[in-house]
A and B are shown apart, each in its own frame.
Chain A
């Protein structure tokens, strides 16, 4: 890998104080870049939180501290070699490259990164990187993340690591070309400018840092941060028992809305300080856009490992050294150009699950069920005055059961970016949309000694005719672990209480809506962890009191009898019920 030649650098003098000081400053710089992107970005996805910013050294090695989800940094790690291969040795101050190419390190076309070289005293010393999810990139479907495209060309405009600024001067011909091909040109350029401004600001801060400490100390700090992460992750892998840990899941949709059973197979081999994640045996790449680019496959493995084994350690080029990811070319997780990739969202999220569940076999005491993520409403049409609108609403389920504690209801999943829901009032003020419900569904959490998160319901009423796409990430159950039971199923109903039409079970469902139409959307509940019949009755009671589990649910799912009037545990009946179950299940 470019710029990542292990052990090549001379051991520079290590100053335990200076590295800590510089690490803090680097983190502050990256955070400041991220804040600039977030506060000034234009797209709904930036509001939701789909963006990141980070710093790499002059060799293109990501340094880690900063503001980005682990898989986002992982993506940057995979991106930089592509960037350097194309532009290495030809950087000038004021250059900015822009890239969204899933075959050059990015995740799908809407995710658009800028990479900005940082010069100090005429020398290239670092790169600042930032990405965010743009509202639209042209192509057949608004938004660019439908699963129904058959090849990359349908999905929108591909930017193959091109200079949008050269020596500080913007390439307006390139920009005009982009803007002529996307549905929301103002948002596209607004997001670009937010990222460029953020990276330039970060560049000035890095310059000030180097003024203070000099390039030698900076380089030594980079080495330290990278070596530190490597050392830590090796220690974390060493603590995992050697062996092979296999998990296979069948993905249930072919991307065109047909039921399918696409194997996602992962064999994790731990040998001493190294870990291999081998996806051999996974389904071949699909005709649809469910395919997940290799860069993101790797990034998800890094991200999952970080969350499970070393939450405190920065993901950087040192972190990934002892980790090898294998995904055979042409498979669902390493598709070959021009396979479409825009609809890979549900596969990516499932990938996290697959890594967790494989590792749970090695570390049953530690690995939780990661939980249910990122269902989406995408609604486009025209306002009364003819103006087009496009709104995207992202909703989360919650965390699955954990070995030592419950999951968490109604929250963005662990390990992902800083996502969150858009307030109903903001949506209703800006778009012809009414949010009618946003809350929990009782009894839908996967029963377990530790309960999985409840399903979250979001119900939308549409006030204008338009096209709707609903992305439902999981159509089957989120399974339990260690004796835990599955969470409730996802569901989409058109016009509940009126027509009660159960919509087809598809990961990406498209339909035309008329004013007054309503969709009741249920995100799947997460699996529970451990045998629910061993869950402390007090905890079941608390859930009943909180109306998260019904009295019937307590009896059926947990074997806990609650007296309906006093809302107290009936200990005698509970003991009897649980004992009869133990007898019934005795081999």
Chain B
């Protein structure tokens, strides 16, 4: 038996996978202090077995600690002359127009950022060795500030870690109780600010994450001593490793849903997939090809999601840790609709959140939201949702939309509600475009896998406007992220920066470096309990034209002969550049970094097994109930049958609405729905 739990903003989803392959789901409130006890209570309810094989955990605790600045008191030691880099963030700012911008304060204030006279040059040679006495003084000064952790980041340490290691040893002598993170160990990549910021985040999180995991493990110990943590890269690691590298778990939650979509894509044989996860406040999209989600080598935390942030950053704290390349936009069920001074209908970015929530929830929300529009349009049940646990007040939603939007716009309330959905879709479309067209992919060749509480409502309309003709709504769409936790493999990423022209590299040394990194990885996974033989490696390489700002991360050629490695890499890059950007040139290429991904399969849960235990029986009466639903000016109000997933055993033409405990699937006219052998609802444009 295995247990997965995914902590969201309000609720924690818990899934227990029994030995019979049966899933039991429940929700508890996300109260961090007692979540361990609550999980145990859930397990007790459904399980008589004394032991659980393992717990798999997706959590936003690391991200929230950084965003809310609830981190350990941390100090920084850096090269003389560079302590302000952490604050200046490359001198970038996230919005080029806003004169009222406030910079997010650095995680370490200036007085705890100290400098050491030492220098390694841009070719890795030592110019000046640090004076141990000066280092001791600096460490003692940090101790007077009460630091629990110290990050050390010296210039060019990615080429030569000697000085950081020396300082690491000195700190261990002076204050062995301190957490110490060396940038050359945490993330040996060129670009000092990014490496510094990453190291600082790691150091500042270790005490917080350790304490949290200690508490959690204490509660869970009665069932299992094996707690696994979801990482931003879609793999899992042991809690022990999470204590050492909390930067790996920053985007733990969103990654799990994408991973579940990737697993479903493989099982269903869908080679090109866009995952679409829409909740109450945001919508997230990710590109998945041949079962592999697109990844990015890093990003920012706490910076918002403007295009400038995507390009350059500056709004948040730079974080270089591989993660799934998920693009998020501020549109969700709770997004508020309003009219701007030009008389155009706008949706978001303000959200009604969980409290007060949409008008139709009757909890005090006054401003019409996307969810209110979906209720008015007849898409969502006008009386209650979530297995009748949440009452819906359709009249209130109708009144709010009529008075606040339809009246001023001189539209019918239905038209206004339909407009809200269209405008929200346009925002969400930007997330889908950002992961497809922006990366040279034609969305029309893709299948959309939609999940999250609101995703299946919007999926078909959204797909239609991008020319996508096939949409999957998987089993458990509202708990899909928690499900993803049960499907993940072990995974670790390793990187070393080279930053040399391809023409000057020593191919033998590169291959040797990969070999060393793989040996290190094998050891780490063995310590996590993975048999050495089960470890699989992927080699990747970062290449760019010498002058470019950004590199492409590409699979390293398999079995390359050391003799023609340079030619092979040049060819690899030129082709990829042509594919990605539409042209290539014979310019000098730079090998920026080499990367290793080490994976080991942790589990064999399959959708094909889940469907057997979870669908079947429970057939309804042949005549489904009907509801009026509005499908735009062309179709108007249509009498629409309301069905359940179990009922869709033969293809049915839209309009149809499928109600599920955790979401609603809208099948517009000119779409058809069927169910496949994995239990997935498949919507097809006719």
Contacts and interface: CB of A to CB of B under 8 A. Distances in A.
A, B bound? yes
A99 to B, nearest CB: 21
Contact of B548 (A17, A39, A438): A39
A368 B549 contact: no
Given A20-B423, A49-B312, A434 B122 contact: yes
Given A32-B437, A420-B92, A429-B122, A46 B549 contact: yes
A410 B91 contact: yes
Given A24-B429, A420-B92, A437 B81 contact: yes
A409 interface: yes
A529 to B, nearest CB: 12
A278 interface: no
Interface string B93-116: 100111111110000011100000
B97 A35 contact: no
A439 B339 CA distance: 45
A19 to B, nearest CB: 5
B85 A438 contact: yes
A419 B308 CA distance: 10
A496 B451 CA distance: 62
Nearest to A421: B91
Interface stretch (B379-387, B515-523, B560-568, B578-586): B578-586
A307 B92 contact: no
A20 B405 CA distance: 15
A311 B99 contact: yes
A84 interface: no
Given A41-B548, A187-B547, A437-B81, A410 B96 contact: no
B514 interface: no
Given A421-B90, A438-B85, A32 B438 contact: yes
Nearest to A366: B99
Contact of A38 (B311, B545, B547): B311
B211 interface: no
Interface string A508-545: 00000000000000000000000000000000000001
A88 to B, nearest CB: 28
Interface in A65-102: 67, 69-70
Contacts of B549: 38-39, 41, 46-47
A307 B97 contact: yes
Contacts of A36: 581
B342 A231 contact: yes
Nearest to A135: B547
A425 B99 contact: no
Interface string B137-166: 000000000000000000110100000000
Contacts of A42: 545, 547-548, 587
B93 to A, nearest CB: 5
B545 A190 contact: yes
B344 A228 contact: yes
A365 interface: no
Given A423-B90, A546-B109, A35 B438 contact: yes
B617 interface: no
Contacts of A40: 548, 577, 581, 583
Nearest to B94: A418
A356 B545 CA distance: 41
A197 B583 contact: yes
Contact of A200 (B80, B101, B547, B582): B582
B32 interface: no
Interface stretch (B169-177, B187-195, B280-288): B187-195
Given A41-B548, A193-B583, A424 B82 contact: yes
Given A16-B345, A34-B311, A47-B547, A425 B191 contact: yes
A450 interface: no
B613 interface: no
Nearest to B500: A429
Given A28-B430, A428-B122, A429-B190, A205 B92 contact: no
Contacts of B546: 430
Contact of B345 (A20, A402, A425): A20
A201 interface: yes
B97 A306 contact: yes
A308 B98 CA distance: 9
A425 B344 contact: no
A500 B409 CA distance: 69
Given A42-B545, A412-B91, A438-B81, A368 B345 contact: no
A337 interface: no
Contact of A17 (B158, B419, B550): B419
A12 interface: no
Contacts of B411: 16
A545 B112 CA distance: 10
A160 to B, nearest CB: 26
State the main secondary structure of chain A at its contact with B: helix
Contacts of A21: 422-423, 425-426
A410 B91 CA distance: 6
Nearest to A408: B103
A182 interface: no
A69 B308 CA distance: 11
A195 to B, nearest CB: 11
B54 interface: no
B74 to A, nearest CB: 16
Given A197-B581, A424-B82, A307 B99 contact: yes
B510 interface: no
Nearest to A24: B426
Given A36-B581, A410-B84, A20 B430 contact: no
B433 A32 contact: yes
Interface string B451-476: 00000000000000101000000000
A14 interface: yes
A20 B346 contact: yes
B499 interface: yes
A70 B96 CA distance: 8
A436 B81 contact: yes
Given A25-B426, A418-B308, A425-B191, A411 B92 contact: yes
B88 A17 contact: no
A232 B341 contact: yes
A423 B341 CA distance: 42
Contacts of A434: 119, 121-122
Contacts of A35: 307, 310-311, 438
A380 to B, nearest CB: 16
Of B98, B437, B547, B582, most buried by chain A (CB within 10 Å of CB) is B547
A436 B82 CA distance: 8
A187 B548 CA distance: 10
A435 B102 CA distance: 28
A425 B101 contact: no
Given A190-B547, A434-B121, A425 B190 contact: yes
Contacts of B97: 70, 306-307, 311-312, 414-415
B434 to A, nearest CB: 8
Interface string B73-89: 00000001111110111
B293 interface: no
Contact of B85 (A187, A306, A412, A439): A439
Contact of A39 (B81, B343, B419, B550): B550
14 contacts: A17-B419, A20-B426, A25-B429, A28-B434, A47-B547, A67-B311, A311-B98, A408-B93, A410-B88, A411-B314, A420-B314, A430-B122, A438-B84, A439-B84
Interface of B: 80-85, 87-93, 96-103, 109-111, 119, 121-123, 155-156, 158, 190-194, 307-308, 310-312, 314, 339, 341-347, 409, 411, 418-419, 422-423, 425-427, 429-430, 433-434, 437-438, 465, 467, 499, 545-550, 577, 581-583, 585, 587
Closest 5 CB pairs of A and B: A428-B122, A437-B81, A439-B84, A17-B419, A228-B342
Given A16-B345, A39-B549, A548-B110, 18 more contacts: A21-B422, A24-B430, A32-B433, A39-B548, A40-B583, A42-B545, A70-B97, A197-B583, A212-B465, A307-B97, A405-B102, A411-B103, A414-B99, A415-B99, A418-B312, A421-B91, A425-B190, A545-B111
